[in-house]
Chain A
Amino acid sequence: MSAPVGEVVGRIAEVLRRPVAAVQFDTELAAIAPDSFVLVEMVIELQDEFGVRFEHDDMAGLHTVGDVVALVERRRVS
């Protein structure tokens, strides 16, 4: 079962403390995360929230919000 895209985007916005409007699919994570610690929190939070687990190889492909959403969806169905 895939996670509603809006929920994932909303959670990302919440963890990064950004308005949802500022968190678009093509938004670069580096542009909205104040530091890498926040990204770690986001990664852990999303896995807990949506019951998925990311693997090491997944991380290299995470550049935008859309990448994160796609990863959550992929892990939800795998």
Chain B
Amino acid sequence: MTAPDDIASDEEPFDGPSALDDPTVVLPVPAPGRPGLAPARSTMGDTQRWLLSFYRTSEISGALFFGRLARAQRPGPIQQDLTHHFADEAQHARYWTDCLTELDTEPLKLGVAYQDQYLAAAGLPANLMEVLAITSVFERRVINQYARHLTVPELEPAVTRTLTRIMQDERWHISWVRQALKNMSAEYGRDTVKAAVRRFERADREVYAATISEHEERVSFILDRAGSAR
């Protein structure tokens, strides 16, 4: 299992601040909320169903986004990694579907994914470097959110298994994007790359705070439980 400390020990891209170290960014990523779920042990069934569906929707949107990017690229290493990335995201959506099935429920159809709000707040990325910069910030948000979710006590085994499995892939996502950004520093300029990452980190905090606020009732459970587990 990937622990939050392991994630935090990863080298941060371009010295940008880590979401894990930022106390104002309570959790990261795709969506907040939580869980408890399940039939016998928890009264949080609807909340968990919503949260896992939120994760699932976010993964679907991620797959579509990276699929579009892969299509727009010429064949080469970047396209190869983008292809791998969107295949992972699609698989993650399937894992969440399977997880919900194992929990004896069905996914909710949610209209708007976390990423939709993300681009609205961050603005349209101007080029591939900026796309990867926003991706690096977003992926850290995701893995931190999943890591935070894992700290909730008495998670159903299916949820723990799914979070753990997905986080293994997410670590590779962060790794390849970080390396690609480093490689692009020569072309775009290191300062420009760092500035892009920081700009998107600011947008990320904004969207995350708004998401938490909008879905406070759904996410407070995971925040409270995770907090008490620390």
Contacts and interface: CB of A to CB of B under 8 A. Distances in A.
A5 interface: no
Interface size class of A (residues with CB under 8 A): 20 to 34
Interface string B51-62: 000000000010
Interface string B170-208: 000000000000000000000000001001000000000
Nearest to B65: A37
A56 B130 contact: yes
Please classify how large the interface on chain B is, using the bins under 10, 10 to 19, 20 to 34, 35 or more: 20 to 34
Given A41-B69, A43-B125, A48-B73, A36 B130 contact: no
Given A40-B131, A56-B130, A59-B123, 19 more contacts: A35-B116, A36-B119, A36-B124, A37-B61, A37-B68, A40-B68, A40-B69, A41-B69, A41-B72, A43-B126, A44-B69, A44-B73, A44-B131, A48-B73, A54-B127, A55-B126, A59-B124, A59-B125, A59-B126
Interface of A: 15, 35-41, 43-45, 47-48, 53-56, 58-60, 62
